[in-house]
Homo-oligomer: A and B are copies of this chain.
Amino acid sequence: MNEIFRSDLAEVQVRLVDLSEAVTEIMEKASMAFLNSDVRKADEAIALAEINEEKALAIDELAIRILGRQSPVARDLRVLVSALRISASLERMGALAGHIATIARFRHPESAVPESLRKTFSEMGALDCALSRKLTQLLRNPDVDLAKTIQGEDARVDELHRSVFDVVLSSTWQENPMYTVDVTLASRYHERFADHVVDISAKVAYLTTGDWSEIE
């Protein structure tokens, strides 16, 4: 690998780590906004999600420029193509967190989450933030064990996602339809956020081991 290409790749990595940190911050603010009807945090999350989109586009441009200039092959080529996909996933994660903040914004000054689901969403938000932080760590120091740990950890998010519907569809659920809509979408956004973390981790594991089976 030549020096210029090595430094180009390092630049892509730094930017992906930066994007992943920004995504964590958006999810932290969105989760606080959602749980506490905090309209200021909601606005911050929404504004950051927009910046996030621009950052992701800039990484794509950088990766395409490197592809054109260096014409990498084999593993180097796959690293760059993966970078394009990882930035697309990080962009979506920011957008999903932004959607959660938007729900909080819409419902303000009312709460978007009824008391019966507060604990569930609190755990789901905390898990998404924790997964996002681990993802940053993984992007900074690719490590197949950490990648596999992350891939196992979204099971709890899926479980919580299903449990939201158990509550909503139970006979004790007497909330108005607005709550049903809000918690249905918010739960879906939390679940998709974790899905993207798993997808990215699988790509990093693949790049580390070269084993395609990791990403299927």
Which residues in A have some Cβ–Cβ distance to B below 8 Å? Answer: 57, 64, 67-68, 71-74, 77-78, 81, 84-85, 88, 165, 168-169, 173, 177-178, 180-181, 184-185, 188, 216
Copy total for this chain: 2
Cβ A81 vs Cβ B78 within 8 A: no
Q: Which 4 A-B pairs have the closest CB atoms?
A: A71-B71, A180-B180, A68-B73, A184-B184
Q: Which of B77, B180, B216 meets A177, CB within 8 Å?
A: B180
CA distance A81 to B60 in the complex (A): 10
* Whole-angstrom CA separation of A78 from B81 in the bound complex: 12
In the bound complex, CA of A128 to CA of B91 (Å) = 24
Q: List chain B residues, Cβ under 8 A from A88.
A: 85, 88
* Contacts known (A67-B77, A71-B71); A181 close to B178, Cβ less than 8 A: no
Contact A68–B74 (Cβ < 8 Å): yes
- How far does the alpha carbon of A57 sit from the alpha carbon of B180 in the complex, in Å? 36
**Chain B neighbourhood of A57, CB < 8 A:** 216
